[in-house]
Amino acid sequence: MGKTVVFFKETSKETADEMACFGHGENRMSNIISFDERVTPDDDSLVMSNGGTDVLISVLALSGSVIAQTENEKRLMVYLLENDQIRGRGCVGFEIVEMPWTIETFEEDKAFMKKVIGGAKKKTGWEKLDYHPDERLVFHDLRAFEKLIDRMTVDDIKEGASRNWMSEAEENDPVRCGFPRCGKHGIFLTCFGCQICNDT
pLDDT digit string, tens, across residues 172-192: 888 889 999 999 999 999 988
Q: Which residues have a Cβ under 8 Å from the Cβ of 148 and sit 6 or more positions away?
A: 33, 34, 35, 44, 45, 46, 96
DSSP, res 98: G
What is the C-alpha separation between 45 and 24, in angstroms, rounded? Answer: 11
Name the DSSP letter for residue 181. Answer: B
Residues 7-14: contacts with CB under 8 Å, at least 24 apart: 7/51, 7/55, 7/131, 7/132, 7/133, 7/134, 7/137, 8/132, 8/134, 9/132, 11/134, 11/136
What pTM does this model have? 0.81
- Residue type at 74 in one-letter notation: K
Strands 46-48 and 93-95: unpaired
Q: For residues 192 and 174, what is the distance between their CA atoms, to the nearest angstrom?
A: 10
Share of the chain above pLDDT 70, in %: 79
Q: Give residue-wise pLDDT tens across range 34-48.
A: 999 887 666 789 988
Indicate whether 121 pLDDT > 50.
yes
**199 alpha carbon, distance to own chain's centre:** 14
d(CA 107, CA 122): 23
Among 25-29, 37-41, 111-115, the range scoring the smallest mean pLDDT is 25-29
Residue range 12-30: mean pLDDT, rounded: 40
Judge whether residue 73 has pLDDT over 70: yes
